[in-house]
Amino acid sequence: MNQDLSIVTLVLNASLVVQLVIAGLMLTSLASWTVIFTKLFGLRTLRRNNDDFEREFWSGKNLNELYNAAGTKPRTAPMERLFASGMREFMKLRERRLEAGSLLDGARRAMRASLQRELDMIEGNVGFLASVGSVSPYVGLFGTVWGIMHAFVGLASVQQVTLATVAPGIAEALVATAIGLFAAIPAVVAYNRFARDIDRIAIQLETFIEEFSNILQRNAGGPAVTQAH
């Protein structure tokens, strides 16, 4: 006798626990893909905005003009916000006529604090992908083990056990593991990709802090902050 062993049929005939496991994994996979696409386009936009500001910064434009422009933009790049926080603190301390070392230390601390806030926002939801990648296979395995147990309990009342009677129960149980891997593999791949991208962004921002600190150091003893040279 031919039996319909399609995925849909197997899921519909599975036990309630296995169906709940599969439903949970499918919802988790959907949420994971939402995070993946959101983070993918978000990081791409972030890198482009950082590159645009960095080109503008090193074009020789007056730093006071850059600072004033940063305050009028509705959305700015992380690098631009680091620049603004450093300039803001530098000018506040300069008005108090502190020595050059204090000016530089204050601006650097402000930029470091801003860097940490930026990295916290950039890394948002990336941890979710790590959790999905590590937990989903075990959740799927739980569904498989439960499904196999349910299948063997059902075989206890069968007089003659054949491959045709065992196969559907085992197959529907294994679907849970397959869906668990389906949810986990893209999440792990995306997490590793985003972790590398975020590390590169962090290095870019830290390099900018050092370079901008050198500029502030050269301007600490002068009457005003001028250009990024």
Residue 1, pLDDT > 50, answer: no
Buried b (16+ CB within 10 A) or exposed e, 13-37: ebbeebbebbebbeebbebbeebbe
CA separation for the pair 56, 80 (Å, rounded): 10
SS3 of 98, please? coil
Residue of 111, 103, 110, 54 whose CA lies nearest to 219? 103
Amino acid, single-letter form, for residue 100: A
What confidence score (pLDDT) does residue 221 get? Answer: 61
Express each pLDDT in 55-90 by its tens digit: 998 988 888 888 888 877 767 889 999 999 999 888
User: H helices of the chain, where?
Assistant: 7-13, 16-57, 63-72, 78-95, 100-122, 126-155, 163-219
Amino acid, single-letter form, for residue 148: I
Residue 114 burial (CB count, 10 A):
21
Express each pLDDT in 146-191 by its tens digit: 888 877 776 666 666 555 566 666 777 788 888 999 999 999 999 9
Residue 205, pLDDT > 90, answer: yes
Kindly report which listed range (41-45, 63-67, 122-126, 186-190) carries the lowest average pLDDT score.
63-67
Kindly report the average pLDDT of the chain as a whole number. Answer: 84
Residue 2, pLDDT > 60, answer: no
Q: Which of 7-11, 73-77, 150-154, 196-200 has the highest mean pLDDT?
A: 196-200
Residue of 30, 49, 31, 51 whose CA lies nearest to 41? 49
Kindly report which listed range (76-80, 91-95, 116-120) carries the lowest average pLDDT score.
91-95
pTM: 0.80
CA separation for the pair 93, 46 (Å, rounded): 30
Average pLDDT over residues 31-59: 93
Average pLDDT over residues 5-10: 65
User: What number of CA atoms fall less than 13 Å from residue 104's CA on the CB side?
Assistant: 16
Return the percentage of the chain with pLDDT > 70, whole number. 83
CA separation for the pair 42, 125 (Å, rounded): 12
What confidence score (pLDDT) does residue 93 get? Answer: 84
CA separation for the pair 212, 80 (Å, rounded): 11
Do the Cβ atoms of 78 and 122 come closer than 8 Å? Answer: yes
Which residues, listed in sequence order, are joined to residue 62 by a DSSP beta bridge? 227
What confidence score (pLDDT) does residue 171 get? Answer: 75
CA R_g for the chain: 28
**pLDDT higher at 71 or 143:** 143
Return the percentage of the chain with pLDDT > 90, whole number. 46
Residue linked to tokens 């990295």: 119
3-state SS of 137-174? HHHHHHHHHHHHHHHHHHHCCCCCCCHHHHHHHHHHHH
Residue 39, pLDDT > 80, answer: yes
